[in-house]
Amino acid sequence: MGVPQIFIDGNTGATGMLIRERLLARNDIGLISLEDQQRKDLKYRIEALYACDIAFLCLPDEAARQAASIAKKSNAKLIDASSAHRTDECWVYGFAEFKEGQREAIMTANRISNPGCYATGAVGILAPLIKAGLLPIDYPFTINAISGYTGGGTSLITRYESEAAENYKPDPFWQYGLNLNHKHVPEITNRLGLVHPPIFQPAVANYAQGMLVNVPLALWQIDRQPTARSLHEILSEHYNNSRFVRVASLTETTKLQELNPQALNGTNLMEIFVLSDDNTRRAVITARLDNLGKGSSGAAVQNMNLLLGIPEDASISMSA
């Protein structure tokens, strides 16, 4: 019996290229590759989708929907890195640490939707706290985040890395999603079961990758009157046995002077910090991750490993 055949549909974007880079050195899988002209020809893409065991869809949303429709009668298992299916209940949410049983659901799935990078941080922070009843689903959540420019998609990457960009220095920091309808908002709202969409304000800085996702909480405003310690206890318990998510101790957090968003670049790790001022009962919970690692390509390969029943950390770096 041969090795599983893997096809990356759309391997010229940042996520697809990094998935390919992670898989090239492996001898336990085979990669189906298309020439440049073949990638533009639907006939060859269809042949690859029907020849593979697992396909990564690293495509714009509409193209991902088309590919998923084409592959309906194939035996291929799909991992969609776009936002096309992130609120579709027919697709398993590809965040293994999301909740109890999620890893097992991924292992037996035929259709997996990879989480968005910002959503990985926000859902990773809030899901355990909401499930434990410490935070209500009707709380007016706000999420503030900063990412390297790869978090802004193809157009932003082009702005920073094109030939024209070499002649001037792009703005060092700017906000986007100003209409408050960023594409990750429906995903966050749906996966957390929130009554109201969060106010989400993303920003990018003049570096390629690395992300901080911040959720501020007015603890005095919440009926259950949670403390920073109780929030930390729930998060620590939830991620106690996780290979890829680490909750910093309160002692470690109190000593922090700064958080470098690029500290986990090149890894599939996410770190969570509970920052607080107990005197005024305010807290900010921060997730740090590589938006191209745990936020996209690393999580996608993690999901593939689970599907294949091989070590979850295969070809995924676990150290910065």
- Cα 249 off chain centre by: 23
Query: Is residue 289 within 8 Å of residue 264, measured between CB atoms?
Result: yes
Question: What single-letter DSSP state applies at residue 68?
Answer: H
Question: What single-letter DSSP state applies at residue 41?
Answer: -
Identify the pLDDT of residue 41.
Answer: 83
**CA separation for the pair 150, 300 (Å, rounded):** 17
Identify the pLDDT of residue 175.
Answer: 82
Ordered mean pLDDT values, 10 residues apiece, the chain (320 residues): 91 90 93 86 92 97 96 96 97 98 98 97 98 97 93 77 64 80 94 97 91 97 94 98 96 95 96 96 98 96 97 83
pTM value is: 0.94
Identify the pLDDT of residue 170.
Answer: 64
Identify the pLDDT of residue 164.
Answer: 65
Question: What single-letter DSSP state applies at residue 128?
Answer: H
Residues in the chain: 320
Query: Is residue 86 within 8 Å of residue 187, measured between CB atoms?
Result: yes
Look-up of token digits 């304000």: 201
Tell me the torsion sign for CA atoms 60, 64, 92, 244: negative
Could you give the residue numbers annotated as active site? Answer: 117
The number of beta carbons lying within 10 Å of the beta carbon of residue 2 is 6
Identify the pLDDT of residue 129.
Answer: 98
Identify the pLDDT of residue 320.
Answer: 65
Query: What domains does the chain contain, in order, with CATH numbers?
Result: 5-114+295-308 (3.40.50.720), 117-291 (3.30.360.10)
